[in-house]
Structure 1
Amino acid sequence: MAVLGKPTTIKFTCYEIGHTWTPFCTHAAVGVAYSVSKEAAKIYGSLYLLTALYRNRGKKYFLGKFWRETLQSVIFLTTNGTVFIACFCIWRRLLGQFLYFTAAFMPAFTASFVAILIERKSRRGLLAVYMANVALETLYRMLASRGLVKPIHNGEVLLFSVASAVYFYFFKIKNGLPESTLSALSLIVGKEEHPPCDAQTDQQQKPRSTIQDRVQDVIKSCKPVKMLVDWLQSHSKHRLCQHQHSCISYILQGGIRMFAIGYGIQCAIKLFGSLGRTFKNPRIFLKSLFQRDNLRLGAFLGCFVAIFRAVNCLLRWIRNKEDKLHGLLSGFLAGWSMLFYKGPTVALYTATKLAEMLYFKGIASGVLPYIRCADILIYSISTAIVFHTAVIEPHNLRPAYWNFLLRVTDNRFAEMNRVLLEPFIQGCSKMFPNFWPDYDPRYTNLARQ
Structure 2
Amino acid sequence: MAVFGKPKSVTCTCYELGHTWTPSCLYASADVALVVLKQALKIYGTLYTVAGILKRRDLKYFKEKLLKEISQSVLFLTTNGTLFISFFCIWRKLLGRFYYSSTGFIAAASASLTAILLERKSRRGLLAIYMANVATETAYRMVLSRGWIKPIKHGEVLLFSIASAIYLYFFRKGHLPEQTKGALSFLVGKDELPITEKGEGPNHKNHGNKFLSQLTQTQTFQRINKSLQSTPRHRLCQHRHGCIHYTVKSFVKMFGLGFLVQGGVKILGALPRIHKTPGSLWHALRHQDNFRLGAFLGCFSAIFKIVNCLLRWLRNKDSEIHGLLAGFLSGWSMLWYKSSTIALYTAYKLAEVLYFKGISKGFLPYVRCADIIIYSISTAFVFHVAVFEPHNLRPAYWNFLLKVTGNRFGVMNRKLLEPLYPDASKIAPNFWPDYDKRYTSLTPESILQRS
- Specify the TM-score bucket, using the shorter chain as the normaliser: over 0.9
Deviation at 1:24, TM superposition (A): 1.0
Deviation at 1:444, TM superposition (A): 1.5
Checking the alignment, whether the CA contact within 8 Å between 1:133 and 1:352 is kept in structure 2 is yes
| 2:70 counterpart residue number | 70
Checking the alignment, whether the CA contact within 8 Å between 2:203 and 2:240 is kept in structure 1 is no
* Aligned partner of residue 419 in structure 1, secondary structure: helix
| 1:7 counterpart residue number | 7
Mapped to 1, the partners of 2:436 and 2:261 lie a distance apart of: 49
| 1:303 counterpart residue number | 299
1:22-42 alpha-carbon deviations (Å, 9 max, x no partner) = 111101111011111111111
| 1:162 counterpart residue number | 162
* TM-score when normalising by structure 1: 0.95
Letter in 2 for 1:255: F
| 1:336 counterpart residue number | 332
Letter in 2 for 1:132: A
1:75-117 alpha-carbon deviations (Å, 9 max, x no partner) = 1111101111111011111111111100010000000000000
Checking the alignment, whether the CA contact within 8 Å between 1:124 and 1:376 is kept in structure 2 is yes
Checking the alignment, whether the CA contact within 8 Å between 1:255 and 1:303 is kept in structure 2 is yes
> Pick from 263, 268, 271: which aligns with 1:272?
268
1:145-200 alpha-carbon deviations (Å, 9 max, x no partner) = 111121100000000000000000100113x1000000000001000000133345
Letter in 1 for 2:51: T
The count of corresponding residues between Structure 1 and Structure 2 is 445
> Pick from 351, 359, 367: which aligns with 1:371?
367
Deviation at 1:205, TM superposition (A): 7.8
Mapped to 2, the partners of 1:38 and 1:206 lie a distance apart of: 48
Unaligned runs of 5+ in 1: none
| 2:448 counterpart residue number | none
Unaligned runs of 5+ in 2: 446-451
Checking the alignment, whether the CA contact within 8 Å between 2:10 and 2:419 is kept in structure 1 is no
| 1:81 counterpart residue number | 81
Q: Are the structure 2 counterparts of residues 218 and 94 from structure 1 closer, same or farther at C-alpha, using a change threshold of 3 Å? A: closer
**Aligned pair 1:286/2:285, yes or no?**
no
| 1:128 counterpart residue number | 128
Deviation at 1:301, TM superposition (A): 0.9
Report sequence identity in percent: 58
> Pick from 240, 247, 259: which aligns with 1:244?
240
**Aligned pair 1:229/2:228, yes or no?**
no
Checking the alignment, whether the CA contact within 8 Å between 2:206 and 2:240 is kept in structure 1 is no
Mapped to 2, the partners of 1:391 and 1:106 lie a distance apart of: 12
Checking the alignment, whether the CA contact within 8 Å between 2:22 and 2:28 is kept in structure 1 is yes
Q: Are the structure 2 counterparts of residues 236 and 301 from structure 1 closer, same or farther at C-alpha, using a change threshold of 3 Å? A: same
**Aligned pair 1:211/2:205, yes or no?**
no
| 1:182 counterpart residue number | 181
Q: CA RMSD in A?
A: 1.9
Letter in 2 for 1:104: G
Counterparts in 2 of 1:26-105, with a 5 A limit? 26-105=26-105
Deviation at 1:287, TM superposition (A): 2.5
Checking the alignment, whether the CA contact within 8 Å between 2:258 and 2:294 is kept in structure 1 is yes
Mapped to 2, the partners of 1:276 and 1:410 lie a distance apart of: 19
**Aligned pair 1:149/2:149, yes or no?**
yes
* Aligned partner of residue 104 in structure 1, secondary structure: helix
Deviation at 1:3, TM superposition (A): 4.2
Greater shift after overlay, 119-128 or 65-74? 65-74
Checking the alignment, whether the CA contact within 8 Å between 1:41 and 1:70 is kept in structure 2 is yes
| 2:421 counterpart residue number | 425
* TM-score when normalising by structure 2: 0.95
Deviation at 1:298, TM superposition (A): 0.9
Checking the alignment, whether the CA contact within 8 Å between 1:5 and 1:101 is kept in structure 2 is no
Checking the alignment, whether the CA contact within 8 Å between 1:199 and 1:242 is kept in structure 2 is no
Mapped to 2, the partners of 1:359 and 1:6 lie a distance apart of: 38
Checking the alignment, whether the CA contact within 8 Å between 1:263 and 1:298 is kept in structure 2 is yes
Mapped to 2, the partners of 1:400 and 1:189 lie a distance apart of: 29
Letter in 2 for 1:336: W
Q: Are the structure 2 counterparts of residues 222 and 60 from structure 1 closer, same or farther at C-alpha, using a change threshold of 3 Å? A: closer
1:329-373 alpha-carbon deviations (Å, 9 max, x no partner) = 000000001011011111001101111111111111110000011
Letter in 1 for 2:426: K
| 2:321 counterpart residue number | 325
Deviation at 1:2, TM superposition (A): 5.4
1:364-414 alpha-carbon deviations (Å, 9 max, x no partner) = 111000001100000000000000000000000011111111111110000
Mapped to 2, the partners of 1:164 and 1:97 lie a distance apart of: 48
* Aligned partner of residue 21 in structure 1, secondary structure: coil
| 2:171 counterpart residue number | 171
| 1:193 counterpart residue number | 192
Mapped to 2, the partners of 1:75 and 1:164 lie a distance apart of: 36
Mapped to 1, the partners of 2:249 and 2:440 lie a distance apart of: 69
Greater shift after overlay, 290-299 or 406-415? 290-299
Mapped to 2, the partners of 1:129 and 1:360 lie a distance apart of: 14
Q: Are the structure 2 counterparts of residues 202 and 275 from structure 1 closer, same or farther at C-alpha, using a change threshold of 3 Å? A: farther
Q: Are the structure 2 counterparts of residues 202 and 417 from structure 1 closer, same or farther at C-alpha, using a change threshold of 3 Å? A: farther
1:300-339 alpha-carbon deviations (Å, 9 max, x no partner) = 1111111111100011111111111101000000000101
Letter in 2 for 1:278: I
